[in-house]
């Protein structure tokens, strides 16, 4: 019989005195209390290719597991538990998704003699939720999670950008926003940000000219100026002016293309400024709708060259609508013949994948892997995309 409260007490002891790398040992202690022979954590790597044992897991006990074609990967991609029976039928492995909010962290593995009952599964769901919260809360006090998730050395410019970003996925009141960045170990000029405040969802997608440390410095200023303007209660137009002013003052000659958007999640009213940026895609009822006007302002940092206020485009979303933001690294990806991936191919990919009922974070994971494959495994430019679904 499960003793879930005893397991909870063991795990909660990590809140105040433990480190992330202590979690594997505590889970081993907790496993018998959960009628499991063993329990362990595997986290998704930055490239979202493999599920990797959390740093601190005893060597040779668990190996990295590919996302594609595995039961563990299915639990991760669908955000649903899966059961992997042993070949001899004597027990198996229960894989549970580790979710922090809507952010997919990885999976919890439990080796068991039998598939748990419905009541036991409810208790195990709570254990998985607690494990995810512990990982999310303890990750900033050490480097165990980073050591686990990195399959390649991360360049300094990418380190700077990743440390600026919010979680890849947000879900609130029927609205989902999820994003992806590549090359994840060498990104420098692309970034995104968001905030949900009451019924107002703020979204920003940025593409800084250049690459490397210089671009990441401009991007850092852009992100933090955007947040400062948003938190000061500025309108979209004044937010544009503030970012434009600071880029011009601190990095004259540099510029950033961007989408600055706001969505009223209660009514579906959508407003945005396109600062020299490609138009977002609007997907509705299984088809592509006409794009909003773009651009409606010059790139950030060049706004002084046009003597008029940035124009704010407006749109009334319908329940089920999807908006896809992207930087030119997505649509300007080239195959071996030089053919561009292009917005039409992007729209077709999104419509087909969404039409299969694929969860939004998984749509974006598959998109970025499709782009990488299209460019034969090596991106020529930063490629960032974000997907906003309104289902109110």
Examine the domain organization and report whether 143 and 10 are in the same domain.
Answer: yes
Starting at the edge strand that comes first in sequence, how are the strands of the sheet with 383-390 ordered?
169-172, 175-182, 383-390, 321-326, 281-284, 287-289
Examine the domain organization and report whether 172 and 142 are in the same domain.
Answer: no
| pLDDT of the residue at 17 | 82
| pLDDT of the residue at 392 | 67
Examine the domain organization and report whether 131 and 174 are in the same domain.
Answer: no
pTM of the complete model: 0.94
Examine the domain organization and report whether 232 and 102 are in the same domain.
Answer: no
CATH number at residue 200: 3.60.40.10
In angstroms, the CA 302 to CA 127 distance is: 51
In angstroms, the CA 1 to CA 161 distance is: 47
Closest C-alpha among 203, 185, 182 to residue 194? 203
Q: What is the DSSP string of 152-176?
A: SPPPHHHHHHHTT---SEEEETTEE
| pLDDT of the residue at 1 | 58
| pLDDT of the residue at 351 | 97
CATH number at residue 104: 3.30.450.40
Q: In the chain, which stretches have pLDDT less than 70? A: 1, 392
What range does the domain containing 246 cover?
A: 156-390
| pLDDT of the residue at 211 | 85
In angstroms, the CA 300 to CA 294 distance is: 14
Examine the domain organization and report whether 112 and 160 are in the same domain.
Answer: no
Q: What 8-state DSSP symbol labels residue 224?
A: H
Q: How many domains does the chain have?
A: 2
| pLDDT of the residue at 188 | 75
Examine the domain organization and report whether 40 and 175 are in the same domain.
Answer: no
Q: What 8-state DSSP symbol labels residue 358?
A: -
List pLDDT tens digits, range 79-121. Answer: 999 999 998 878 999 999 999 999 999 999 999 999 999 999 9
Examine the domain organization and report whether 31 and 74 are in the same domain.
Answer: yes
In angstroms, the CA 354 to CA 350 distance is: 6
Examine the domain organization and report whether 144 and 166 are in the same domain.
Answer: no
φ, ψ of residue 380 to 5 degrees: the values are -85, -15
């Amino acid at each position: 019989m499960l003793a879930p409260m005893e397991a909870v007490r063991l795990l909660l002891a990590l809140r105040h005195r433990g480190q992330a790398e202590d979690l594997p040992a505590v889970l081993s202690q907790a496993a018998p209390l959960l009628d499991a022979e063993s329990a362990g954590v595997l986290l998704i790597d930055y490239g979202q290719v493999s599920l990797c044992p959390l740093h601190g897991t005893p060597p040779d006990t668990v190996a990295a597991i590919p996302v594609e074609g595995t039961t563990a990967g299915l639990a991760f991609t669908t955000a649903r538990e899966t059961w992997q029976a042993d070949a001899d039928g004597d027990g198996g492995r229960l894989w549970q998704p580790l979710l922090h909010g809507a952010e997919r962290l990885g999976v919890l593995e439990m080796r068991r003699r039998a598939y748990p009952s419905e009541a036991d599964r409810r208790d195990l769901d709570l254990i998985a939720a607690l494990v995810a919260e512990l990982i999310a809360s303890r990750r900033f006090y050490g480097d165990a999670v980073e050591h686990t998730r990195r399959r390649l050395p991360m360049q300094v410019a990418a380190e700077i950008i990743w440390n600026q970003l919010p979680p890849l996925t947000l879900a609130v009141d029927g609205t989902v926003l999820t994003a992806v960045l590549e090359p994840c170990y060498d990104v420098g000029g692309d970034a995104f940000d968001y905030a949900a405040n009451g019924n107002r969802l703020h979204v920003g997608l940025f593409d800084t000219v250049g690459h490397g440390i210089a671009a990441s410095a401009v991007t850092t200023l852009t992100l933090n100026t955007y947040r400062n303007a948003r938190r000061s209660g500025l309108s979209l137009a004044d937010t544009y002016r503030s970012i434009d002013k600071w880029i011009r003052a601190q990095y004259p000659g540099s510029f950033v293309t961007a989408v600055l958007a706001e969505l009223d999640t209660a009514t579906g009213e959508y407003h945005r400024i396109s600062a020299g940026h490609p138009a977002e895609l609007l997907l509705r009822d299984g088809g592509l709708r006409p794009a909003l006007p773009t651009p409606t302002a010059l790139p950030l940092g060049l706004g002084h060259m046009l003597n008029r206020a940035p124009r704010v485009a407006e749109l009334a979303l319908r329940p089920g609508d999807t908006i896809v933001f992207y930087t030119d690294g997505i649509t300007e990806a080239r195959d071996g013949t030089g053919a561009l991936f292009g917005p039409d191919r992007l729209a077709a990919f999104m419509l087909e994948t969404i039409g299969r009922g694929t969860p939004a974070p998984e749509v974006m994971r598959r998109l970025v892997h499709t782009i990488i494959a299209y460019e034969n495994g090596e991106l020529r430019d930063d490629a960032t995309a974000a997907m906003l679904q309104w289902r109110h």
